[in-house]
Structure 1
Amino acid sequence: MKVREVHDFLNRLWEDVFALNEELREELPEGFEVEDVEEVFGAYIFLDGEWRLMKYPHPAFEIKPQIEVGATPESYYLVVAVPRERISENFLGTFLEVFPRSFIYGSENFLNDVYNWRRDGRLSPTEVLERIKGSNEKVFQFEANFGSAKALKQGVKRLIDLGKRFGIFDL
């Protein structure tokens, strides 16, 4: 491991998230409020086929209502919380199509995902919806991963459009 490479990589993640935060403050539609960037502790990352605890902080911020945006060593990401009763098969299918690198998990038992793009890529929206219906969770986290801050920014805008179309937001 080269310490300089780790240092530069982490600095780039933080710089990218701070820059994205400022850009989204100016560009998001009315009803969406961009909060400050924070250090997030106790998150999990999917590595080597399992969810692993990150004992180190990563940069993230909230977009109210219901969205978190950030970066981990694995990817740039967004997460939107969706109450079970607002999850339709159409929303689910569109989300998986627009965001192929995604995870879906409950807000209480988040280590038991109902959809994992690295494992379940061939599941249909109907099959994923059956898993959701079979769960005791009341709120599900829809996470999408991206290779760059630029792609994440576009993903946030697409998510807001989808969310408005399918009525998932508390606006």
Structure 2
Amino acid sequence: MNVREIHDFLNRMWGGIFGLNEELRTELPEGFQVEPVEEVFNAYIFLDGEWRRMSYPHPAFEIKPQIEVGATPESHYLVVAVPRERISENFVGLFLEVFPRGFIYGSEDFLNDVYNWRRDGKVSPTEILERISESNEGIFQFEANFGSVSALRQGIRRVIDLGRRFEIFEF
């Protein structure tokens, strides 16, 4: 283990999220509010084919309403919370098309995902919608992963556009 590399990596990860947070405060459309960066504990990361608990913190912040943005050692991410009644087959299909590195899971039983890009491959939006309808969850988390802060920034804009189009946001 090279401590210098770990140190530099963590500084880039946290610094990128702090910088994005500051920039988004003046860039997002009306109705969206960027909250301060926080340390998130007890999150999970998908490694080696399973969800694993992270005992260490990672940086994240909310964009109200309904979006979380952050970074883990594996990727940069955004998560948008969508009430079950606002989820349509077209929304699911476009989300997967726009964000090919995605996960969909419930807000309560988040370790049992209904879609996982690393495991499920090309599952149809119809099949994902069936999994959602069979669940007892009221809110589903639509997560997208990115390889960089700039890709994450673009993803935030795209999820806001997609969310407005399908009226998933509760203003």
TM-score in terms of structure 1 length = 0.99
Paired residue type of 1:157: R
Distance 1:9 1:63 in 2: 25
Alpha-carbon distance between aligned partners in 1 of 2:121 and 2:24, rounded to the nearest angstrom: 30
- Counterpart for residue 102 of structure 1: 102
Shift of 1:28: 0.1
Moved over 6 A (4+): none
Amino acid at match of 2:150: K
State the 1:120 CA deviation: 0.7
The Cα of 1:122 is off from its aligned counterpart by 1.3
| Whole-angstrom distance in 1 between the partners of 2:47 and 2:84 | 27
1:118, 1:34 → 2: CA distance? 30
1:58-73 pair list within 5 angstroms: 58-73=58-73
Deviation at residue 64 of structure 1 after TM alignment: 0.2
Residue in 2 that maps onto 1:14: 14
Q: Superposition pairs for residues 49-128 of structure 1, below 5 Å?
A: 49-128=49-128
For normalisation by structure 2, the TM-score amounts to 0.99
Per-residue deviation, 1:121: 1.6
Which blocks of at least 5 consecutive residues in structure 2 are unaligned? none
Match of 2:28 in 1: 28
User: Aligned letter for 1:7?
Assistant: H
Q: CA deviation at 1:161?
A: 0.4
Show CA shifts across 1:66-90 (max 9, x none).
Answer: 0000000000000000000000000
Which residue matches 2:144? Answer: 144
1:83-129 C-alpha deviation (Å, 9 max, x unpaired)? 00000000000000000000000000000000000001210101111
Partner Cα distance (2:4, 2:145) in 1: 26
